[in-house]
Amino acid sequence: MTLPYALDTITVAQIAKFESKIMKILITGGAGFIGSNFVHYWAEQHPEDSIIVFDALTYAANRASLASLQNKITFVEGDITDREAVDAVMAGVDCVVHFAAESHNDRAIADPFIFTKTNVIGTHTLLESARQHKVSRFHHISTDEVFGDIPLNEKYKFSESTRYNPRSPYSASKAGSDHVVNAYFETYKLPVTISNCTNNFGPYQHPEKLIPRSIIRLLHGQNIPIYGEGNQVRDWLYVKDHCRAIELILQKGKIGDTYCVGGMTEEVTNLQIAQKLIKALGLSENKIEFVTDRAGHDVKYAIDWSKINKELGWQPEHDFDTWLTTTVEWYKNNEAWWKETANEAESFYKAQGEQVLTK
């Protein structure tokens, strides 16, 4: 049996493909947060390409995020676990950029099985279809959460060689998807790349996540609900920096490789983020309340992004404070985009029994 691709010809073929002018790119999950930012980014940077967005329009999607691109992209509503639908959209595709996933930890605690279905089975379905259709590149978007968490008093960071140690149903499902992607490279020589990035922030993020939730609640005169003591640390990455990292990986990344993408050089706790948001909106510090903690709450994520820096010349361009303020402005000016989903997000937290413990 001959394999669809010979390993050492992939790189050459890939470079030729990605340097050539026109490409048909399939973006899964393009109606979600990072996916929609990437669709905007790609349409702007590569206007000659044909962009297909494939998205099941779950609760996390927002068609309004793509409204201004209506005439520039093809939108296909469909589920990545549906092989027939996936095959139909995969025909003639050169490159897949796979964002579609269940992405929220709190929802994974409440209802974990859909995470395994979408994130593992859905990714596997896409990979098999991509293999059958001989796509030239499959880029999988993953998370730093697959590495577990870092004790607060430790200074080390996650890198491409960190052992997988997921601690939540969401991160376990993402870890599972990464393993299947790697298996398709090792076994079938499917030309894959993976990026494991940390927490993104910016426009079009669902109001269930910390930064948009906090901004929207402050705009409504409510408090920011902080889990536990608020001493957890994330490594915040402005979404546009993430989009540029993916572009570079597609253009210059090594087939079969993983790239870690992070943002911060200094640690900022959730509590400090809440304080920055309160300040950005010109309010006072008593707008914070401590609520029921997340089960199995990961305390710290931090990414060593030296590989992508050295090999592909990427580094974050957007500093946290400036882009946090820009993000606050975006939410202030786009109430129509978030109004409905913010209500749904708050209903979700209420149904989970989130309780205010202290102020």
First to last CA, the chain: 66
With binding defined as CB under 6 A, does residue 199 bind ligand DAU?
yes
Render 285-307 in DSSP notation, one character per residue.
GGGEEEE-PPTT---B--B--HH
Binding mask 61-100 for ligand NAD (x = CB under 6 A): x-----------------xxx-----------------xx
| Number of residue whose CB is nearest ligand NAD | 32
With binding defined as CB under 6 A, does residue 173 bind ligand DAU?
no
Considering only 141, 226, 255, 342, the residue that binds ligand DAU (CB under 6 A) is: 226
Among residues 181, 214, 186, 168, the alpha carbon closest in space to that of 349 is found at 214
Q: Active-site residue 106, yes or no? A: no
CA distance 280 to 330: 12
Considering only 14, 65, 105, 129, the residue that binds ligand DAU (CB under 6 A) is: 105
Q: Please give the order of strands across the beta sheet that includes 24-28.
A: 73-77, 50-55, 24-28, 95-98, 137-143, 192-197, 258-261
With binding defined as CB under 6 A, does residue 31 bind ligand NAD?
yes
From 31-39, 127-135, 214-222, 303-311, span contacting ligand NAD (CB under 6 A): 31-39
What residue has token string 């992209």? 73
Closer residue to ligand DAU, CB minimum distance, 96 or 226:
226
What residue has token string 């999607």? 61
Sign for the CA dihedral angle at 211, 342, 352, 61 comes to negative
Judged by beta carbon distances under 5 to 8 A according to partner kind, the member of ligand NAD, ligand DAU, none in contact with residue 55 is ligand NAD
What residue has token string 């010349």? 313
Considering only 99, 238, 301, 305, the residue that binds ligand DAU (CB under 6 A) is: 301
Closer residue to ligand DAU, CB minimum distance, 127 or 237:
237
Q: Active-site residue 145, yes or no? A: yes
Q: Which residues are catalytic?
A: 144-145, 170
